[in-house]
Structure 1
Amino acid sequence: MATAPRTRKGPGSRWLAAQGWKAFPFQREVAKAIAAGESGLLHATTGSGKTYAVWLAALDAFVAPKPITAKGLPSKRKQAPPPLTVLWLTPMRALAADTLRALERPVLDEELEWTLGLRTGDTGSSERARQNRRLPTALVTTPESLSLLLSREDAQEALGQVRLVVIDEWHELLGNKRGTQTQLALARLRRWNPGLQTWGLSATLGNQAHALDVLLAGEPGHLVQGRQDKRLQVDTLLPQGGVERFAWAGHLGMRLLQQVIRELEDSPTTLVFTNTRAQTELWYQALLQARPDWAGLIALHHGSIEKQAREWVEAGLKNGQLKAVICTSSLDLGVDFLPVERVLQIGSPKSIARLLQRAGRSGHAPGRASRATLVPTYSLDLLDAAATRRAITAGEIEARTAPVKPLDVLVQHLVTVALGGGFEPDDLLPEIRSAWAYRHLSEGEWIWALAFVRNGGASLSAYPDYRRAEPDAEGIWRVPDKQLAKRHRLGIGTIVSETSLNVQFWSKGGGGNRLGNIEEGFIARLRPGDHFLFAGRTLELVRVENMTVYVRRASGRKAAIPRWSGSRMPLSDTLAKHVLALLEDAEAQRYESPEMRLLQPLLDVQRQWSALPSAHYLLAETLESREGSHLFLYPFAGRHAHLGLASLLAWRLAQRRPCTFSIAVNDYGLELVSPVSLDWQELLDASLFTTDNLVSDTLASLNAAELAQRRFREIARISGLIFSGYPGAHKSNRQLQASSSLFYQVFRQYDPDNLLLGQAQTEVLRQELDADRLQQTLTRTGALPLRLVTLDHPSPFALPLMVERLRESLSSEKLADRITRLVGDLEREAGPDERARAFDPESLVQPSHDSDLTPRRGASPRRPRVQKSGRPR
């Protein structure tokens, strides 16, 4: 290892001193570990100096001292830059560009002979060509671009001298297939350089030991716990005048618009985070309409907006020219916006880690405080807000676990390695097994993967397009066809999203300015002349042609709001635990936080009409209405697990008595509705919640084949079965779905043992239904006594579930009509309470017909009947 003499400071240490800074203890610990050739994980508070901790240590360790002249002085003769020495992986392109700027400062100030470069999907062709001739000494890139480098014929020559790999925001990659792709790339680099050092950086990991184990593939490493004393202020924007006792998700917090504006006025620069792109568009429009004088001072930022517009927003933030930016997770990660002093979070953050990550975007420098303010979008968001602050005080963060043996990623990597110089199977298998995800890869799975890339498996062997890698005369597996090689390089990566269409202004003389991209599924529901919100504008659809949506500016008529997939995030287990703890405090009449004191009227009604959910019993509510017989359960396991649980319970109930059920879920609970009256007291016994035959019953309870077929599209794309198309000629979502469905049916009929079919089923269970959490929930609730309460009216906790179900079948106007009538009835039954916000029927469309949710005739208000305090065994 080439290091500077001990009597002299290295360039990293010199630069730090020149800034007038002093290294923190954790930074010195990292420097010592890197100098000793160790790998590890640095977990430190956002904005505390993680990047420079590793980078300055790398400069000290790897920058060779300048040659000494005969006079004993450092030579001023210019030396050739060293080969690629440091790879810096980031999960986002925007973060990559920002990271490069940070790394360049000490290199330029110290006049080092290292060269630095950036390689992502946004890198221009001329820069790529220059890098293909000679890679820089340090390269900032993404997992996808690293895999592309591994597919070069001279990959070992180009990457074999890398001495340090840094994975920034490791928590963002750990729990998904991009992290698996990174593991395989690291295994390849370690094969070429057994002394390779690997360091991960993170600020929000609840299971650091697991994260380190995955990063280093089980090898020993150094876990450095960085600064934890950074000041963090988390508060809640409390609605003035109280909250509704009967509320539902979907208000989007617009009643707090004026309060939000006052908060923005008091801060020079603020990031306003939402959980969905649709919310971002709505809040931007609402703020601009309320404060037209802020035009040019506020902006919006999300992943579907054109790159140039996003870069303009990011530059405005860095320069302090913008007062506020309304954004999604596109600005979650470590981008350094020093002027940002405050973060607003619209709605529940759903997890502790997410809020900490977003809060860290403010005060993003050592010694500066971070501040995050939660803006509730409906009453029960206050409960999440209080629980979030309670969990942060307790120092609890969610754990993240890595996927195990995703075979679609493996077969993609095999073709990549075949392109990158080729491989011999017996030689490659130990390397693959050295990656944590594939440490238990069986011989049978390996043989299947080789057969799959060689000829597509048993059912596709007759088609040459699926002979993607095969042994040559010397037994080296290579890609036999240049066209297949080109297609593979275009498809490298594990990010699979809905097919997007370009959004572009209509111009008679040709294409106008591009605005970004939008999902095909949303545009398919619109007709020419319809209006929709996008990129902060109201647009009119002109036509759709060649994967491009042509639009013109519009105003006046109500606009549709685009919906993007993957926007509903489930409540984390950690946050749910603290929510239940607060409800237990409320049961004991302890309202210690301002949020809980504001919620007391709602919780009082819940207690009077039913009971408060608890970790010590499973609350079940039943209600008879014109719709039928309702059951409400509150396991607090998150939206995904509740979907699996609701489907499972409905299926098991139907096995006892033929019946159909409607289902609704949210993060707190689930609703089952039968059109016929049911005796819930008799039906809710212990066998309903058993974990016996869980997988088979869960799959039987759903249209499992349809769910698996949808999931198979992602697997087919990653594994190379389907091709998304060439640049400028991408295939539509309908074409891709049709192609993947055809493969799915062919495999089921002619190759039922195809391992990708099993992977599709596993991913449905684990990702869409959160099967692990579902099993834990069944085990926990099965051991709890059941508290069964008969309602005369929907309780404050039941109403959001009813609205969730109706939202799927009613237009927004009809839904508002029903809710107005129902909430008015419920408020009258609950009686006056000066602490609660009065219900304002003018805030919604006036009712034009009776609600189907009103109690049946003859029902009168009374105390709830607790029918059962325990579950028969």
Structure 2
Amino acid sequence: MNSALPLEIAGWFAGRGWHVRDHQQRMYDAARAGHHALLAADTGSGKTLAGFLPTLADFCPSLLGGKAPPEGLHTLYVSPLKALAHDVRRNLLAPIEEIGLPIRVETRSGDTPADRKKRQRSRPPHVLLTTPESLSLLLSYPESRELFATLRRVVVDEVHAFATGKRGDLLALALARIHGIAPAAQRVALSATLSDPEGFRAWLAPTDDTRSVLLVEGEKGVEPDLAILVPQEERVPWGGHAGRWAIPRIMDEIRRNRTTLIFTNTRFLAEYVFQMLWAVNDGNLPIGIHHGSLATEARRKVEGAMARGELRGLVCTSSLDLGVDWGDIDCVIQMGAPKGSSRLLQRIGRSNHRLDQPSRALLVPGNRFEFLEAMAACDAVHAGQRDGEAFRPGTLDVLAQHIMACACSGPFQEAALLAEVRTATAYRWIDAQIWQRVLHFVATGGYALEAYDRFRRIVRDRAGVWRLTHPEHAVRHRLNAGIIVDSEMLQVRFGNGRALGKVEERFAATLSPGDTFYFAGLSLEVERIKDMDVIVRAAKTSAMIPSYGGQRMPLTTHLAARVQAMLSDRAGWGRFPDDVREWLEMQDWRSAMPGPGKLLVESFPHNGLHYTVYYTFEGWNANQSLGMLITRRMEDRGLMPGGFVANDYSLAVWGLKPVDNPLQLLSPDILTDEFVAWVQDSYLLRRAFREVAVIGGLVERQHPGQRKSGRQVTFSTDLIYDVLRKHEPGHVLIEAAWADARSRLTDVARLAGVLERAGRELVHVMLDRVSPLAVPVMVMIGREAVPQGAVDDDLLLEAEGLAAAAMRADPPLED
């Protein structure tokens, strides 16, 4: 039975000519009945309003019946992006102000001034919009119990974007903490792209009873209008990722539309594409750029201009992936492959942000495999199929950070805290033994480090209560806590102090006074580098663009399977452009096609070397790992490997001797001794240890009044890593680093899948020259260390020679 909305809210809907959607009514009913709820509804369906309707109702005079409005913090809104929180605040203020409700709404993030943060702890708003990291820090203050005691609702927006990762672990632990303070507070999660609704219900539930969370499905919107941009007269490129060939046509789209949003997959490509667009922007149309390394002021300026409809185009990254509601966007352009159907759906949903209008999007593939991936993603969107990362056990470094935050808020009993932690689904696996290991690490740094006073952060008294050894540890925790561990950054500033954003330390190390580079849409000249700042002035021209070492977006398993199915569906090739169809037909005639149930491996000579290409379709991380393992095994067998190169779809390995039996190189036992030896000897485990050491609080990036450089942090973590490897190889953080190395850095699960398939699916084809399907990966040889997009022209020239040999139907000349 539907609960009637308060008169004030019903009148506001009527005044706007709107009606309450069914899923909005059901979310309101769930709240009135005291239930937790998970809403899965398309973009533009009013999800955010559905999440906040019960909050608005609690402040309506007609429902209060003469009683005073609620005091204190009433609703907590958690989002993965700071930009989303600010956008939600703008949109939430509209009904609050138009209805005249006495609700104060504020945001809290790393960009919030310190004085406002302090005031929020003593005099909080009714609605606080924040991120998982800022929420965890808020819970680390002694006044947090009083602050959250009045809480009635928690709204988690775009839950799919972070619940399955470490940020989701941190938020799950924070929600467990809040449940202990305000057990009656309702939990709500919102998403447009859930691939595993039951998994998210379990994540959201405050107990192990998933039925306590109602699943509410929204009404379906209009089918999106998707198209793939291909060259009109030229061919789809063999290699490259930037899609530079499409820049004039993208500029035409910007001129044609009111507002166009151009998504890229990396910060480098955002700067590169913006630069290319500006070069052909003859009409000086207002075009902006937005990514996570820009200064707060620059991002806020762009977001405000978009909200006011002042920009005709905006080039951005995943910094604007989620939920941002700018209604005047009538076209979204995706540069390069989307890497997943859910990500594509999320991005195109920014266009015509309404259920009754189709979202319009253009996909710009950088090469031929990206064209196939774009087709597969479009097919998946139209079929209603979603993808996403699977849930996995919560990590120990995040748990250590949470325990320290709890200690900062006040003394705790370990049994009570363990019981609280285990209410989070991600941490139900923690037993007494693991708990004691993590607790011992937080208290002393572990067996090998406990002799050093600086690692002694908490201590247990005779009554069994844990507390901080010194108040300064709370200050240091709040300076360093967080989950996102980027490479160390230097601020880019003008001489007058105005900040433009940040570049990575490794890029800044290549700069000298007088050098120029392109950043934040500006040409800049380096004046000097001082401490952690790059001081610049405006320049007339520049060539370099900063590159960033962030994690690559993984090709989802679901999308990879679709691409393979397309390759084996010869009848479906008729819908491809002529050159793509001819590419596949020549591959089919000269060699074989990979596909479901067939792991294709090709071997051929080229320029005096012997090449083997493995078509795994398991993503860049897994292919990189496989390349390292195969070359080690080739070395052991005297095959004299020369190197390898990988993309999301395939791996090319070369050497002085031919590989006659690739199955010997792919036996599953490679994941035992050889995998362990490789990871321990490589930088991977050290890199993973650096991240978990920072997250776990063992190594601090900041001290009061000073910040360590990236070199200093790396030096510190390397020293500690070497000590632990020698004296305590079973240390909690070594275990956490191994978990990271196996999952994120090497994608060992997908790698194991390749090895398992090889025994029953491998098809080895010996060729006399390069095959058509091998050209896209072969053109990458020698260029994998070059920033994406910077070498598209060179790639095209090199591809022409390879492609000519690959597509030649007559017998080849002597190699």
TM-score (norm 1): 0.88
Shift of 1:522: 1.0
Distance in 2 (CA, whole Å) between partners of 1:203 and 1:463 is: 49
Alignment check: 8 A CA contact 1:591 1:597 kept = no
Aligned match of 2:779: 803
Alignment check: 8 A CA contact 1:161 1:193 kept = yes
Shift of 1:548: 0.3
Aligned match of 1:526: 511
Alignment check: 8 A CA contact 2:441 2:732 kept = no
Specify which of 208, 218, 226 is matched with residue 226 of structure 1: 218
Which sits farther off after the overlay, 733-742 or 623-632?
623-632
| Partner deviation per Cα, 1:107-165 (whole Å, 9 max, x = no partner) | 33333333322211122233223212221222111111111221111221211221211
Aligned match of 2:270: 280
Aligned match of 1:249: 240
Shift of 1:639: 0.9
Where structure 1 has 5 or more consecutive residues not aligned to the other structure, the ranges are 69-73, 834-854, 860-873
Alignment check: 8 A CA contact 1:184 1:413 kept = yes
Alignment check: 8 A CA contact 2:772 2:807 kept = no
* 1:35 alignment partner AA: R
**Residue 46 in structure 1 maps to residue 51 in structure 2:** no
Distance in 1 (CA, whole Å) between partners of 2:262 and 2:807 is: 36
Alignment check: 8 A CA contact 2:634 2:641 kept = no
Distance in 2 (CA, whole Å) between partners of 1:823 and 1:408 is: 49
**Matched ranges for 1:68-87 at <5 A:** 74=66, 79=68, 81-87=70-76
Which sits farther off after the overlay, 100-109 or 431-440?
100-109
Alignment check: 8 A CA contact 1:382 1:596 kept = no
Aligned match of 2:689: 712
* 1:515 alignment partner AA: L
Length, aligned pairs only: 810
Shift of 1:741: 0.8
Aligned match of 1:290: 280
Aligned match of 2:325: 336
The 1:746–1:24 alpha-carbon spacing in structure 2 relative to 1, beyond 3 Å, is: same
| Partner deviation per Cα, 1:705-731 (whole Å, 9 max, x = no partner) | 521111111111111111111476321
The 1:90–1:818 alpha-carbon spacing in structure 2 relative to 1, beyond 3 Å, is: closer
**Matched ranges for 1:467-486 at <5 A:** 467-472=456-461, 474-486=463-475
| Partner deviation per Cα, 1:628-683 (whole Å, 9 max, x = no partner) | 21100101111111112222333334343363341111011101111x222x33x2
What's the Cα RMSD here?
A: 2.6
Aligned match of 1:838: none
SS of 2:315's partner is strand
**Residue 449 in structure 1 maps to residue 443 in structure 2:** no
Distance in 1 (CA, whole Å) between partners of 2:62 and 2:786 is: 72
Aligned match of 1:542: 527
Which sits farther off after the overlay, 344-353 or 815-824?
815-824
Specify which of 654, 657, 670 is matched with residue 677 of structure 1: 657
| Partner deviation per Cα, 1:5-36 (whole Å, 9 max, x = no partner) | 97883654443334332111111111111111
| Partner deviation per Cα, 1:376-426 (whole Å, 9 max, x = no partner) | 222332211211111112221113223413111111111111121221001
Distance in 1 (CA, whole Å) between partners of 2:221 and 2:4 is: 33
Which sits farther off after the overlay, 620-629 or 159-168?
620-629
Shift of 1:303: 1.1
* 1:801 alignment partner AA: V
**Residue 35 in structure 1 maps to residue 32 in structure 2:** yes
SS of 1:591's partner is helix
| Partner deviation per Cα, 1:245-295 (whole Å, 9 max, x = no partner) | x71124x22222222122222111000111111111121111111124225
SS of 1:174's partner is coil
SS of 1:788's partner is strand
The 1:35–1:592 alpha-carbon spacing in structure 2 relative to 1, beyond 3 Å, is: farther
SS of 2:588's partner is helix
Alignment check: 8 A CA contact 1:422 1:477 kept = yes
The 1:661–1:7 alpha-carbon spacing in structure 2 relative to 1, beyond 3 Å, is: closer
Aligned match of 1:846: none
**Residue 462 in structure 1 maps to residue 447 in structure 2:** no
Aligned match of 1:200: 189
Distance in 2 (CA, whole Å) between partners of 1:695 and 1:228 is: 48
Specify which of 360, 364, 367 is matched with residue 375 of structure 1: 364
Alignment check: 8 A CA contact 2:263 2:332 kept = yes
Distance in 1 (CA, whole Å) between partners of 2:497 and 2:134 is: 31
The 1:10–1:597 alpha-carbon spacing in structure 2 relative to 1, beyond 3 Å, is: farther
Alignment check: 8 A CA contact 2:58 2:64 kept = no
Aligned match of 2:17: 20
SS of 2:368's partner is coil
Shift of 1:688: 3.7
**Matched ranges for 1:71-110 at <5 A:** 74=66, 79=68, 81-110=70-99
Aligned match of 1:732: 709
**Residue 591 in structure 1 maps to residue 591 in structure 2:** no
Aligned match of 1:852: none
Which sits farther off after the overlay, 493-502 or 570-579?
570-579
The 1:398–1:450 alpha-carbon spacing in structure 2 relative to 1, beyond 3 Å, is: same
Which sits farther off after the overlay, 806-815 or 475-484?
806-815
Shift of 1:552: 2.0
Bigger CA radius of gyration: 1
Alignment check: 8 A CA contact 1:34 1:61 kept = no
SS of 1:629's partner is strand
The 1:596–1:278 alpha-carbon spacing in structure 2 relative to 1, beyond 3 Å, is: same
| Partner deviation per Cα, 1:467-509 (whole Å, 9 max, x = no partner) | 2112245432121212211001111221111111000123xxx
Alignment check: 8 A CA contact 1:154 1:421 kept = no
**Matched ranges for 1:262-273 at <5 A:** 262-273=252-263
**Matched ranges for 1:361-400 at <5 A:** 361-400=350-389
* 2:294 alignment partner AA: I
Distance in 1 (CA, whole Å) between partners of 2:106 and 2:196 is: 33
Aligned match of 1:576: 560
**Residue 347 in structure 1 maps to residue 336 in structure 2:** yes
| Partner deviation per Cα, 1:524-565 (whole Å, 9 max, x = no partner) | 123322221111122222221110001222234x51121111
**Residue 565 in structure 1 maps to residue 549 in structure 2:** yes
Where structure 2 has 5 or more consecutive residues not aligned to the other structure, the ranges are none
* 2:595 alignment partner AA: S
Shift of 1:597: 4.4
The 1:717–1:813 alpha-carbon spacing in structure 2 relative to 1, beyond 3 Å, is: closer
SS of 2:544's partner is coil
Shift of 1:703: 5.4
Alignment check: 8 A CA contact 1:174 1:401 kept = no
The 1:627–1:368 alpha-carbon spacing in structure 2 relative to 1, beyond 3 Å, is: same
Aligned match of 2:405: 416
* 2:422 alignment partner AA: R
Distance in 2 (CA, whole Å) between partners of 1:536 and 1:213 is: 44
* 2:539 alignment partner AA: A
Alignment check: 8 A CA contact 2:368 2:580 kept = yes
Distance in 2 (CA, whole Å) between partners of 1:189 and 1:829 is: 62
SS of 1:28's partner is helix
**Residue 858 in structure 1 maps to residue 803 in structure 2:** no
Aligned match of 2:638: 657
Distance in 1 (CA, whole Å) between partners of 2:197 and 2:181 is: 27
Alignment check: 8 A CA contact 2:305 2:311 kept = yes
Which sits farther off after the overlay, 157-166 or 794-803?
794-803
Alignment check: 8 A CA contact 2:679 2:685 kept = no
Which sits farther off after the overlay, 465-474 or 540-549?
465-474
